Amino acid sequence: MFRTALTRFQNKWRSYRHRFVPWVVLNLSKNEKTLRQVKKSSKDKLVPDEEVSQRLLELFRLLPSSQRALHGAAQTHFLRQVTSTEDRCGGGNAVCGQDAMVQSLGFCIDRKPSSLPSAGTGVFVTRGFVPKGATVAMYPGTVYQAYEPILLQSIRNPFVFRCIDGVLLDGNDKGISKMVFRSCSGRDRIGPYMMSDTSWLTDSPRNPLAVGQYVNNCSNEWPANVCYQEYDVPDQFPIELRQYLPNVNYSPDTHRPLRCVVLVSLRDITAGEELFSNYFTIVH
């Protein structure tokens, strides 16, 4: 009898795709009603990858470039791009990023104190309108394959996100996590091009979508309005626009496309609303 109960528990546990481990232990019973259920891991995607690529490219093409890693022909292109972006935005990068977002996606998001008591920082739609199925945010961080060690970085770290296939993203912008991201990002470049962006580690990310790690968990009173979706960057993603991707592989020998995670809207969302995701998904 004990064995049957144990097997039933193990099966139920295996079907959970817990996104943030401490939350599974502490909050599962409080959030039963808000669990997200999907049929199979392959059916977890709300919008096709091609559409996510399209939205990211539309935004990235408007963002100001980083001069640091560029020279030659790329620099000429950079100068043209920066000049035209500065004309539009009048200087400061933060303003440019937000304006670029409104221009390309029709809304912008930002971090602010959460509307939930003792939930710290949250993410809000600050301008415009988010239609259902839009790419609303990205989850930045170092990408660890399921077999790679993350022990030290994961201690007392609420920002370790677990993908459905066991890949982990460490979206903590402080301490050892921050050092690891900077070091991996500096390591990976192709010729003059950076392959990732480190500015999500600061208060003003160049890519304004890269604040998804601050989205709080839904509750019975505040149902989820966004959900996580794994997105593997396709080979044909333009090399000069990879500098805006807020993810980098921990290992230089990862022979698979870069894993990113985006947040997709589950319904229309209006300016002033806080974004809430679901930290648990059940895969049947």
Ligand X SMILES: C[S@@+](CC[C@H](N)C(=O)[O-])C[C@H]1O[C@@H](n2cnc3c(N)ncnc32)[C@H](O)[C@@H]1O
Which residues are at the interface with ligand X (CB under 6 A)?
20, 22, 114, 116, 118-122, 158-159, 213-214, 216-217, 219
Q: Are 105 and 250 in contact (CB under 8 A)?
A: no
Cβ nearer to ligand X, comparing 122 with 140: 122
Calpha distance 56→170 (Å, rounded): 21
Cβ nearer to ligand X, comparing 142 with 217: 217
- DSSP code of 214? G
- Sequence-separated (6 or more) residues with CB below 8 Å from residue 256: 145, 232
Nearest distance, CB of residue 230 and ligand X, angstroms: 17
Closest-CB residue for ligand X? 120
Phi/psi at 120 (nearest 5 deg)?
70, -135
Cβ nearer to ligand X, comparing 66 with 217: 217
Cβ nearer to ligand X, comparing 35 with 116: 116
Helix (H) or strand (E) holding 109: strand 107-113
Cβ nearer to ligand X, comparing 116 with 150: 116
Cβ nearer to ligand X, comparing 64 with 141: 141
User: Interhelix angle for 49-60 vs 93-105, to 10°?
Assistant: 140
Nearest distance, CB of residue 61 and ligand X, angstroms: 29
Nearest distance, CB of residue 30 and ligand X, angstroms: 9
Cβ nearer to ligand X, comparing 24 with 241: 24
In the block, residue with structure tokens 């096709």? 48
- Helices in the chain by DSSP H: which ranges? 2-15, 21-27, 49-60, 72-89, 93-105, 151-154, 175-187
β-bridge partners, 112: 122
Nearest distance, CB of residue 160 and ligand X, angstroms: 9
Sign of torsion, CA 232 238 244 248? positive
Calpha distance 245→141 (Å, rounded): 10
Nearest distance, CB of residue 183 and ligand X, angstroms: 22
Cβ nearer to ligand X, comparing 96 with 160: 160
- Sequence-separated (6 or more) residues with CB below 8 Å from residue 108: 98, 101, 102, 125, 126, 127, 128, 208
Nearest distance, CB of residue 280 and ligand X, angstroms: 12
Nearest distance, CB of residue 226 and ligand X, angstroms: 13
Nearest distance, CB of residue 45 and ligand X, angstroms: 22
